[in-house]
Amino acid sequence: MKKYNVAILGATGAVGREMLKILAERDFPVGKLRLLASSRSAGSTIPFKGQDITVQEAREDAFGGMDIVLGAAENDIAKKFAPAIKAAGAVFVDNSSAFRLDPSVPLIIPEINPEDVSWHKGLIANPNCTTIVTLVAVNALKKLSPIKAMIASSYQAVSGAGAGGPKELMEQVEALSRGQQVQSKVFQYQIAYNVIPQIGGFNENGYTSEEMKMQNEGRKILHLPELLVTCTCVRVPVVRSHSVSVSVITERPISVEEAREAIAAAPGCRLVDDPASKRYPMPLETSDQDTVFVGRIRRDLTNPNGLALWCCGDQVRKGAATNAVQIAELLLEK
């Protein structure tokens, strides 16, 4: 089997390390592996398939000889190195939001629009984690009838804010159990025993940047330029896996039975929908795996063409690292 030289930009962060884990799990045909991070991390080692790989400093000349670069860094880093990556002849699969809405850059969820990989120009964007979880859950409905609108509320785990999120939650729980004052550094307020209805900065229409991603990215991924989405994103004291409550409005009515059958057969989905037995998706069951669980499927009582559902998915894996590796696998197929 042909092997491919792979670099991970931002290899020491939570998503970068998860990418390494996914590459090994999925037996991706890695030839040379280059781990890139800031100068602070250069010289440290990370294990991969029984070997300790030394982390190198990310520089413009660090991408020579690479076939694929998986990006797990912030927007400014992605923008800084994208030209050097393309100049080196590698394909950049970027997990930041820097290029997602660029019309010249494919934005891909492999279960939904794998064909878009064919028109990349050396750069492919990985969607927002909540967008991925939600669209994987509802894409089967689009095949039954075009989606006109979605009304969604997300319940996002603290690990979505990086490695510091779970640490802050645990520290606050411990401090409160001892009657001590809590400190909030990662989140704008105490997250232990609380929910925070803001992720990202507010724009002029009162929505946050995180909330607008569902509509803006959804239009591009689903090839539905007129899609309308109202979204509220909430940070909750859950360590891992995002949950989303969503009502989907379609062109024609879809029965609950049709929806269940379609979702059960959809790639990347698992139907967990048995209210009588108290079976429905939950973050604890969806963590550290790649399938989006979907349940609580019922009629939307406010719209005859609406269905309400609840879904959960691991935002570090399917919402970030695994989706990027799946895109890389699409590149090998092409």
Residues acting as catalytic residues: 129, 242
Q: Are 330 and 319 in contact (CB under 8 A)?
A: no
**Cα–Cα dist 195/216, whole Å:** 25
Q: Which residues, in sequence order, are CB contacts of 249 under 8 Å at separation 6+? A: 147, 148, 149, 150, 151, 300, 303, 305, 306
Q: Name residue 90's amino acid.
A: A
> Smallest Cα–Cα separation from 237: which of 176, 181, 170?
170
**CA 99 from centroid of its chain's CA atoms:** 15
CA 197 and chain centroid, separation: 19
Note the helical H segments in the chain. Answer: 14-25, 75-87, 129-144, 164-177, 209-222, 256-265, 283-286, 322-333
- Say what angle helices 14-25 and 322-333 make with each other, to 10 degrees: 50
Q: Find all residues with CB under 8 Å of 276, minimum gap 6, and list them.
A: none
DSSP 70-84: EE-S-HHHHHHHHHH
How many Å from the N-terminal Cα to the C-terminal Cα in the chain?
A: 15
DSSP 8-state class, residue 163: T
CB 206 within 8 A of CB 228: no
Type of residue at 147: I
